[in-house]
Structure 1
Amino acid sequence: MPGNETLRALRLLSRSSGGLLSGSQKVTQRCLARSMATESQVTGSSPDITRSAPAPWDAPVTVMTYNFPTMEPARFVEYSPKHLSMPLRRDLLHRAIVYEGDNTRQGTASTKWRDDVHGSHRKLYAQKGSGRARAGDKQSPVRRGGGVAFGPHPRDFSTDLPKKIYDQAWRIALSYRYQRGELIVIDNQISLPSGSTPYMLESIFRQNGWDTKKGRSTLITEQVNEELFDKVQKMERYASIMDRSDVDVKNLLETQRLIIERVALDRILSQHSRDLKSRPAKATY
């Protein structure tokens, strides 16, 4: 330590000077002792740091809900940042969309190979002597009505994807929509007054700036309302509609905006939170 080296140097000077520095040596020792004690107190003490506010990545996400069809603000709803504040991961979204597409393929395409075609399998004519090109049976793929070479057969196109990755893709897609201001949460049910025409739905979209120039919308409901579904299908140039059970990750990213019921959003987040330790059943108010 530097203090010990200084004391050793002072002792050598005191011996060489015949004790002339004995008084100054005592004073120096006292000063060094005080400084070393102060340093030990400073280094030994640990500052008490307490967080008065949560970190930005732990802060809840506040979402404004609206009443349909007036689109008046209803209230604020808080969601976990792990639900609507996920960073964009294009690789996970791509894997989820490919996984959904593979699972929806029927795989029922089927063709007949030469052994499956009805008819005799004898050789049509002799190999030599006829002057014609050599040929086998009439089920040959090069002949009309014969089998298909390397044609498709029924198979399973489905692929596997870890459930936790699939759940993250759902929340990433919803977070992407929310961060871009394209997630519109409806506090009540999406419905129209009885006796209304599809043109009322068109006027609602135009008043809120959701016309065809700014892209189509996707309406997501918790339950199937046949009357509402019929009216939206007649105005399909403005929007498409589906219930929660028919929604996939691809549907969340297809159109320009999402108009979803709050109950349906809570159900989706609850079902796709298997990778989280604690998953709330619904949003906190």
Structure 2
Amino acid sequence: MAAKRLKNPLSSLQSSLCLQCRISPSPIIRQSRSLATEAAPSGPTTADDYVASHINPGVAAAETATSPAPAQPRSRTEGPLTPRDVAQHPPNPFLRQADVTLYSFPEYAPLRSISYPASHLLLPLRRDLLHRAVVYEGDRTRQGTASTLTRFEVHGSNRKIRPQKGSGKARLGDKKNPMLRGGGAAFGPKPRIFATDLPHKIYDLAWRTALSYRYRRGELVVLDGSAEIQRSGPGSDRWVREMLGWNNWGKADGGSLIVTHVERPNLWWAMGRTDAEIEKEMRPHGRCLSVDEVDVKDLLELNRVIVERGALERIFKEHTADLDTKVRILPGVLSQSPTP
């Protein structure tokens, strides 16, 4: 039965190939040839061997030489990984710790290595959690103070402007009508609260997911000491720009976010936190925020996150509610348990 099944595609292949015009087989015959090759990977009765030995060895050799090479998988060294690439390569579920190298600032020299639990820096990418966290933060920052006056709140007389009938015009009430200039607004905005709810365990998980995403891409730099600089006053902003560019943290590399444990006066001034003009110049190079000001959205905006070790550990301390597995026993529960 196998020989009969193999005979039909070979006969159709021989009849469809024109030896005079040297026309290659049709796409349907190519599919049948590949199926026949998969059915018998080795042996003299395969379709490729039949074409090479019986029909025309020159045509088969030319076709093999001119056929395009199979597409090679994208190398990791061709460029920076995208979120889609990271999602296709989840972290190893058997790792229990994440090794983090501590660097000096501003030399960017490695000093030593420490480890954090896998539940802090080795979480898989969850775009749904990050989206919910960003929307939650954006809704809480909306003021919702827009307010308009209705026709009942506008100051003015309630006297009817003209009689109901006899004027030949449309019916009209008082001058506070929304159709008249100076009247009240119909269906205008009123003060409201745009804030939405999000379980704090999901929000804490989104924090550690954002940090894990940065860690797996190699875009999380942890500083062993403080991020304060020694320079102060005019000229320090230019020095910081040169330092960021030298360490591949600046404008050419997408900018960086510097997260500090507390306020650093010299760094604050150099990054333009106290001067609008300097902040406008430093904005393409990076931003500087304290751990009390940073949000999940800030961790995802720029190309790199530079964080002090104290600030990182404080984030881990404040956003681990979903890891709390303590068993709380109510008073009197043990005394009421049945005895054997």
TM tier, smaller: 0.7 to 0.9
TM-score under structure 1 length normalisation: 0.76
In the TM superposition, residue 278 of structure 1 has moved relative to its aligned partner by 6.6
Q: Do structure 1's residue 275 and structure 2's residue 322 form an aligned pair?
A: yes
In the alignment, the residues of structure 2 paired with residue 209 and residue 188 of structure 1 have an alpha-carbon distance, to the nearest angstrom, of: 20
Q: Do structure 1's residue 214 and structure 2's residue 215 form an aligned pair?
A: no
Q: Do structure 1's residue 238 and structure 2's residue 281 form an aligned pair?
A: no
In the alignment, the residues of structure 1 paired with residue 110 and residue 296 of structure 2 have an alpha-carbon distance, to the nearest angstrom, of: 27
Partner of 1:168: 205
Aligned residues: 225
Work out which of the two has the higher radius of gyration on C-alpha atoms and give 1 or 2: 1
Q: Do structure 1's residue 225 and structure 2's residue 272 form an aligned pair?
A: no
Q: Which runs of 5+ in 2 are unaligned?
A: 1-91, 273-277, 327-340
In the alignment, the residues of structure 1 paired with residue 294 and residue 118 of structure 2 have an alpha-carbon distance, to the nearest angstrom, of: 22
In the TM superposition, residue 231 of structure 1 has moved relative to its aligned partner by 0.5
> Do the aligned partners of 1:57 and 1:81 also contact (CA within 8 Å) in 2?
no
Q: Do structure 1's residue 117 and structure 2's residue 157 form an aligned pair?
A: no
Partner of 1:82: 119
In the alignment, the residues of structure 2 paired with residue 225 and residue 232 of structure 1 have an alpha-carbon distance, to the nearest angstrom, of: 10
2:238 aligns with one of 199, 203, 207: 199
Q: Deviation above 3 Å: which 4+ runs of structure 1?
A: none
Higher relative contact order by CA 8 Å / sep ≥ 6: 1 or 2? Answer: 1
1:97 aligns with one of 128, 134, 151: 134
In the TM superposition, 1:20-39 aligns within 5 A as none
In the alignment, the residues of structure 2 paired with residue 166 and residue 245 of structure 1 have an alpha-carbon distance, to the nearest angstrom, of: 16
User: Quick one: which amino acid aligns to residue 229 of structure 1?
Assistant: W
In the TM superposition, residue 237 of structure 1 has moved relative to its aligned partner by 2.2
Tell me the secondary structure at the aligned position of residue 288 of structure 2. strand
Q: Which runs of 5+ in 1 are unaligned?
A: 1-54, 280-285
Q: Root-mean-square deviation (CA), in Å?
A: 1.6
In the alignment, the residues of structure 2 paired with residue 212 and residue 118 of structure 1 have an alpha-carbon distance, to the nearest angstrom, of: 55
In the alignment, the residues of structure 2 paired with residue 177 and residue 262 of structure 1 have an alpha-carbon distance, to the nearest angstrom, of: 15
Q: Do structure 1's residue 141 and structure 2's residue 141 form an aligned pair?
A: no
> Do the aligned partners of 1:224 and 1:243 also contact (CA within 8 Å) in 2?
yes
TM-score under structure 2 length normalisation: 0.64
User: Quick one: which amino acid aligns to residue 257 of structure 1?
Assistant: R
In the alignment, the residues of structure 2 paired with residue 130 and residue 118 of structure 1 have an alpha-carbon distance, to the nearest angstrom, of: 27
> Do the aligned partners of 2:104 and 2:225 also contact (CA within 8 Å) in 1?
yes
Partner of 1:247: 294
User: Quick one: which amino acid aligns to residue 150 of structure 2?
Assistant: W
In the alignment, the residues of structure 1 paired with residue 203 and residue 292 of structure 2 have an alpha-carbon distance, to the nearest angstrom, of: 16
In the TM superposition, residue 136 of structure 1 has moved relative to its aligned partner by 1.3
